[in-house]
Amino acid sequence: MATSSPPSDLDYRPSYLAAAVVSVVILALYVVTLAPSTAMWDTSEYITAAYTLGLPHPPGNPLFVLIGRVFAILPIAKSVAMRINVLAAVCSAVSAGMWFLITERVLVSWFSQRWQRILGGSLAALIGATSFTVWNQSVVNEKVYTVSLMGIAIISWLMIRWCDEPDGRKADRILVLVAYLCGLGYANHMAGMLAAPAVGLAVLIVKYRTLLRWRLLLACFGALLLGITPFAMQPIRAAHFPALNEGEPTACREGLKVSCTLSAGTYDAFMYNFNRGQYGKPELTERQAPFTAQLGMWWLYFRWQWLRDAHYDHPFAQSGLAALFLVLGLLGGYVHYQLLLSLELLRLGRVGCARPRGRVGFSRRAHRTRDGNRGSRDVRAPDQLRTTCGVAHPGTRPHSALYQLDHGVARRTDRHRGLRARSAQFRRALRRPRHRGRQ
């Protein structure tokens, strides 16, 4: 855990080199266990779609088809199927690197030593990369899920960076990039949009005024639309009638022509394919099974992640491991909730609590806001809440990240005081009368 004495400076820089090493190690694990050819379910369909630049079943997953085509022609494996499987392995390995960075950033509040955070991030990335579903999808490209996983992981890391500096020079660019990645994720699979609600909630909690800036919102909306543009290749490619042309979202019957491509028939065919009309599914509000059955299915998939018991030979061990990871997850959520609650109490303490004397309490640092005006930033230690407000800080850690940061500011203040004292002493020495030499 944290050391007994705070270090001179707590390093908040992400360990990108360590993250790259983690990704390479995970990729090596996937390559060693990589499937040599196709497998069950939609594997062959999507390998064929990638190789022929065709259209798989609606809505067609155009981003995967484009990326898969690149991997299909790269000389990285002996067969096309294996090359597409390598794509799945690469995407999951990149995702593992992102989860490492996120975990390392979270652990800054708990571990002062860099190697401890690297170890924790490595363990988290390894556990996530070797869970059953992730490992299974990473060694054989059953569909498009690993590309979606990579997109969600990258978006999560970018939002962590944005939450650290919502007023930073790159804050707006990060949000625009996140919007673009959400659009790309939707062009790969509808699950790529799962990160969007979390992004909106993070912005609302950290800096809700961002949602009032219409120019930024317009830029994000434009980036989102730009990310969805891979769907535009479907009517163009469908008019060439590739070997795999499911849905056939085009009104052209004799090759690609502008007149038929921009016609109402093409639009209707594209929207029918885009909305998956051929499946005739009921409305989302119409429940197809009891909610208890849905929970049971979630629990079944969760149990699979930690011990895949295909023949149900070890039900107690499987359920025990699942319960252990569930308790650990709930405990981690509770700890983070306590941390967020304490930070919110500290924020409220700026208004309702008395300012303590001395170095304990507020540490104000001047900074430039986005419009160029000078502002100030309050940095306080969580364990100082009892000094400022008389309320005990829940889950107090004497050497948490904020504590280290506050002490770093205090040390810099001490150095400035020392410089000012020496400067004043020097000025007093100059004002003293000089000793004249003998005549």
The string of pLDDT tens digits covering residues 117-167 is 999 999 999 999 998 889 988 998 888 899 999 999 999 999 999 988 888
CA distance 51 to 84: 9
CA angle 276, 281, 285 (to 5 degrees): 120
Q: Check pLDDT > 90 for residue 97.
A: yes
CA distance 183 to 299: 30
Tell me the per-residue pLDDT of 224-281, one tens digit each, with 9 for 90 and over. 999 999 999 999 999 889 888 888 888 888 888 888 888 898 898 889 888 888 887 7
The domain ranges of the chain are: 16-281, 313-428
CA atoms within 13 A on the CB side of 181: 23
Identify whether 59 is preceded by a cis peptide bond (ω within 30 of 0): yes
CA angle 100, 102, 106 (to 5 degrees): 115
pLDDT tier for residue 431 given thresholds of 50, 70 and 90: low
Lowest mean pLDDT among 285-289, 298-302, 391-395: 391-395
Q: Which of 280, 258, 260 minimizes the C-alpha distance to 269?
A: 260
Better-predicted residue by pLDDT, 373 or 80: 80
Query: Count of CB atoms within 10 A of residue 370's CB?
Result: 12
Better-predicted residue by pLDDT, 431 or 53: 53
CA distance 265 to 18: 53
β-bridge partners, 375: 367
Return the SS3 of 347: helix
Better-predicted residue by pLDDT, 372 or 146: 146
The angle, 0 to 180 degrees and rounded to 10, between the axes of the packed helices 80-106 and 132-139 is 140
Q: Check pLDDT > 90 for residue 342.
A: no
CA distance 31 to 202: 36
Most confidently modeled range among 84-98, 246-260, 386-400: 84-98
pTM: 0.74
The angle, 0 to 180 degrees and rounded to 10, between the axes of the packed helices 195-206 and 171-188 is 160
pLDDT the model gives residue 382 = 41
Return the SS3 of 359: coil
